[in-house]
Amino acid sequence: MSLKNARELGRFFNPESIAVIGVSRESMNFGGSSFLHHWLKAGYSRRLYPINPKATEVLGLKAYPSLRALPEVPDLVMVAVRADLVPAALTECADVGARFIHVLTAGFSEIGTPEGRELEARLAAIAKERNLRIIGPNCMGPYSPSSHLTAWGGIPGLDGRLGIISQSGGVTQRFTEYISSLGVGVSKAASIGNAAVLDSPDFLEFMAGDSDVDLIAVYLESIRDGRRFFDLARLVTPRKPVILLKGGESRRGAATVSSHTGRMAGDPVIWKSVFEQTGIVPVTNIQEWVDACLAFSLLPKTRGKGVFIVGGGGGNSVIFSDACIRAGLEVPTLTDRSMGRIRPFVPVAGSIAGNPLDFWGTYLVNDFLFEALNAAYEDDSIHMVVVDRLIPRIAFHSPDLTSDSFAEIVEFIQSRRQAKPTVFTIDYDGGDSDLIRQGSDLRARFCRAGIPAYPSFERAIGALARFYRYCRRFGHAAGR
Answer yes or no: do 234 and 113 share one domain: no
Answer yes or no: do 118 and 46 share one domain: yes
Summarised one tens digit per residue, pLDDT across range 163-213 is: 999 999 999 999 999 999 999 999 999 999 999 999 999 999 999 999 999
Question: Across residues 57-61, what is the average pLDDT?
Answer: 93
Summarised one tens digit per residue, pLDDT across range 339-392 is: 999 988 887 755 678 999 988 788 888 999 999 999 999 999 999 999 998 765
Answer yes or no: do 146 and 129 share one domain: no
Cβ atoms < 10 Å from Cβ of 273: 12
Instruction: Choose between 365 and 291: higher pLDDT.
Output: 291
Name the residue range of residue 254's domain: 141-298
- Does the residue 340 lie in any domain? yes
Answer yes or no: do 374 and 284 share one domain: no
Answer yes or no: do 74 and 189 share one domain: no
**Could you tell me how far CA 382 lies from the centroid of its own chain?**
29
Answer yes or no: do 347 and 446 share one domain: yes
pLDDT surpasses 50 at 264: no
- Quote the CA–CA distance of 61 and 364 in Å, as a whole number: 57
Lowest-confidence pick of 45-54, 76-85, 163-172, 432-441: 432-441
Question: Across residues 413-426, what is the average pLDDT?
Answer: 92
- Does the residue 189 lie in any domain? yes
Q: Which of 88, 119, 135 marks a domain boundary?
A: 135
Answering whether pTM is above 0.95, one says no
DSSP string, 57-111: EETTEEPBSSGGGSSS--SEEEE-S-GGGHHHHHHHHHHHT--EEEE----SGGG
Cβ atoms < 10 Å from Cβ of 72: 13
Residue 250 has a pLDDT of 46
Answer yes or no: do 156 and 201 share one domain: yes
DSSP string, 320-372: HHHHHHHTT-B-PPPPHHHHHHHGGGS-STT-B-SSSBB-THHHH-HHHHHHH
- Quote the CA–CA distance of 238 and 77 in Å, as a whole number: 35
Exposed/middle/buried for 303, CB within 10 Å: 0-12, 13-18, 19+? middle
**Phi and psi dihedrals of 309, rounded to 5?**
-110, 125
Mean of per-residue pLDDT scores for the chain: 90
Answer yes or no: do 192 and 96 share one domain: no
Answer yes or no: do 358 and 288 share one domain: no
Summarised one tens digit per residue, pLDDT across range 219-240 is: 999 888 989 999 999 999 999 9
* Structural domains counted in the chain: 3
Summarised one tens digit per residue, pLDDT across range 115-153 is: 999 999 999 999 999 999 999 999 999 999 999 999 998
Lowest-confidence pick of 24-28, 69-73, 184-188, 406-410: 24-28
Closest CA relative to residue 292, chosen from 478, 160, 14, 431: 478
Judge if the upstream peptide bond of residue 356 is cis by omega within 30 degrees of 0: yes
- Quote the CA–CA distance of 457 and 24 in Å, as a whole number: 49
- Quote the CA–CA distance of 200 and 192 in Å, as a whole number: 8
Cβ atoms < 10 Å from Cβ of 415: 8
Residue 383 has a pLDDT of 97
Residue 429 has a pLDDT of 81
Closest CA relative to residue 168, chosen from 291, 35, 257: 257
Closest CA relative to residue 374, chosen from 403, 331, 345, 405: 345
Residue 477 has a pLDDT of 58
- Does the residue 478 lie in any domain? no
**Could you tell me how far CA 472 lies from the centroid of its own chain?**
22
**CATH number, residue 152:** 3.40.50.261
> Do 386 and 308 form a contact (C-beta atoms < 8 A)?
yes
- Does the residue 418 lie in any domain? yes
**CATH number, residue 100:** 3.40.50.720
Answer yes or no: do 37 and 155 share one domain: no
pLDDT surpasses 90 at 318: no
Answer yes or no: do 48 and 190 share one domain: no
Q: Which of 135, 169, 196 marks a domain boundary?
A: 135
Q: Which of 263, 298, 333 marks a domain boundary?
A: 298
Answer yes or no: do 166 and 213 share one domain: yes
pLDDT surpasses 60 at 397: no
